[in-house]
Amino acid sequence: MKQNLKKTFTSYWKYLALQTACKKDIFDLILSGKKTINELAKFGNFNKTVLSDLMSALEQAETLQIIENKIFLTEKGEVLTENNPNSLKYACIHWGEETMTAWQNLDYTLITGKQAFNHIYKKTFFDYLAEDKSKLENYHKAMNEYARDDYENICEKYDFSIHESIMDIGGSLGALINVISKNNPNLKCYLFDLPEVIELIKKHNYKIIKGNFFENIPKVSETLIMSRIIHDWNDKKAIIILQNAYKSLPKNGTLYLIENLTDKIENKAALLSLNMHLITESYERTLSEYKILLEKANFKFVEYKKINELQHLIIFIKL
Ligand SMILES: C[S@@+](CC[C@H](N)C(=O)[O-])C[C@H]1O[C@@H](n2cnc3c(N)ncnc32)[C@H](O)[C@@H]1O
């Protein structure tokens, strides 16, 4: 038991070794042919002794193998390279940056109930991202890597072809709407997000719309979907977004939420919820908390469905 506890204290070392290798493109360099410590150290301007220990730590993490002084990526290591179709490079980088600094200030959030992020960086998370294009891009690449995996089978769990159109509100780089659009060729698909995010989208098979959901959601679609949106906001702000969704939809229009329902997940998503307290103005809610919130914006609850290990699709209609 004590041994386990001690391992937990330093478990972040393993993660930060991986995160640093991703940040410094070390997995990409190995893939591109830099196969020895000397070649890597020269190319990346790294300290050879430290690099050698880092390589051993990455070998322990089963991301690479060192055979006769040559370094080879394992399947796990390949997933941490930039162009791998299943890449998790930016998801890996994400958690070791500002989020980790916020976690180091959990005591501030514990005492005040306020976001450590805003306390440290003097602005809200989304305002902070908007001011730095490379941070914004890295965050959305990380979100996209999670979303690509989380939503890949969503159309097997739910039939969106019952609708004529659907708009993904706060759709980031489009992982969700892309899957819905590919599986439902007759469905008109739209993605709505902040202008600076829309500008990051390169290729798309859906219409893109720039805007701010606190101001207005355009009336272009009879169905809206919001994934991991409402959990970013406190009740007061969430209701403003939901009222704008209400105004955007026709009568009987459907609003889908995708969220982590804490009462439907075994460990109550407690760590995820703490993360929300630290970074955003919110926390992960229960199904009944979502029902109460949505009723305040005149939506009627229809049903909910589990779509993956963590998330549920929660279905409401506009009265
Ligand atoms: C937690 S991310 C969720 C992204 C994506 N839906 C997913 O499930 O991975 C929140 C999204 O809301 C967008 N967003 C934040 N504030 C917004 C606003 N005022 N208007 C429109 N979109 C906003 C962000 O740009 C981001 O794409």
Quote the mean pLDDT of the chain. 96
Q: Which of ligand 1's atoms lies nearest the C-alpha of 231?
A: 1
Instruction: Place 304 in a pLDDT band, splitting at 50, 70 and 90.
Output: very high
Query: Residue range 109-136: average pLDDT?
Result: 96
pLDDT attached to residue 175: 97
Query: Residue range 269-282: average pLDDT?
Result: 94
Cα(16) to ligand 1 centroid in Å equals: 27
Instruction: Place 203 in a pLDDT band, splitting at 50, 70 and 90.
Output: confident
> Residue 117 falls within a domain, yes or no?
no
Cα(150) to ligand 1 centroid in Å equals: 16
Cα(5) to ligand 1 centroid in Å equals: 37
Q: Is the CB of 214 under 6 A from ligand 1?
A: yes
d(CA 197, CA 54): 35
> Residue 125 falls within a domain, yes or no?
no
Domain identity same for 136 and 18: no
Domain identity same for 67 and 188: no
Smallest CA-to-CA distance from 98 within 37, 45, 139 is with: 139
Query: What are the φ/ψ torsions at residue 293 (nearest 5 degrees)?
Result: -60, -45
The predicted model scores a pTM of 0.94
What CATH number should be reported for the domain holding residue 31? 1.10.10.10
11-23 and 48-60 helices cross at what angle (nearest 10)? 120
Domain that holds residue 73: 2-80
Residue 223: Cβ within 10 Å count: 21
Domain identity same for 174 and 274: yes
Look at residue 266 and tell me whether its pLDDT is greater than 90. no
Query: Residue range 172-179: average pLDDT?
Result: 97
Ligand 1, atom 19: closest residue by C-alpha = 212
User: Structurally, how many domains does the chain consist of?
Assistant: 2
In angstroms, what is the C-alpha Rg of the chain?
A: 22
> Residue 202 falls within a domain, yes or no?
yes
Give Cα 33 distance to the centre of its chain: 31
What CATH number should be reported for the domain holding residue 186? 3.40.50.150
Report the percent of the chain where pLDDT is more than 90. Answer: 96
pLDDT attached to residue 92: 98
Q: Which of ligand 1's atoms lies nearest the C-alpha of 129?
A: 25
Q: Is the CB of 172 under 6 A from ligand 1?
A: yes
Q: Is the CB of 229 under 6 A from ligand 1?
A: yes
Smallest CA-to-CA distance from 175 within 195, 158, 193, 157 is with: 193
Look at residue 267 and tell me whether its pLDDT is greater than 90. no
Look at residue 195 and tell me whether its pLDDT is greater than 90. yes
Q: Any long-range contacts for 34-40 (C-beta under 8 Å, 24+ apart)?
A: 35/70, 35/71, 35/72, 36/69, 36/70, 36/71, 37/69, 37/71, 40/71
Cα(199) to ligand 1 centroid in Å equals: 14
Q: Is the CB of 227 under 6 A from ligand 1?
A: yes
Domain boundary among 40, 57, 80: 80
> Residue 190 falls within a domain, yes or no?
yes
Q: Which of ligand 1's atoms lies nearest the C-alpha of 214?
A: 19
Query: Residue range 253-282: average pLDDT?
Result: 94
Q: Name the DSSP letter for residue 305.
A: E
Domain identity same for 71 and 205: no
pLDDT attached to residue 70: 95
pLDDT, tens digit (0-9, with 9 covering 90-100), for 36-76: 999 999 999 999 999 999 999 999 999 999 999 999 999 99
> Residue 108 falls within a domain, yes or no?
no
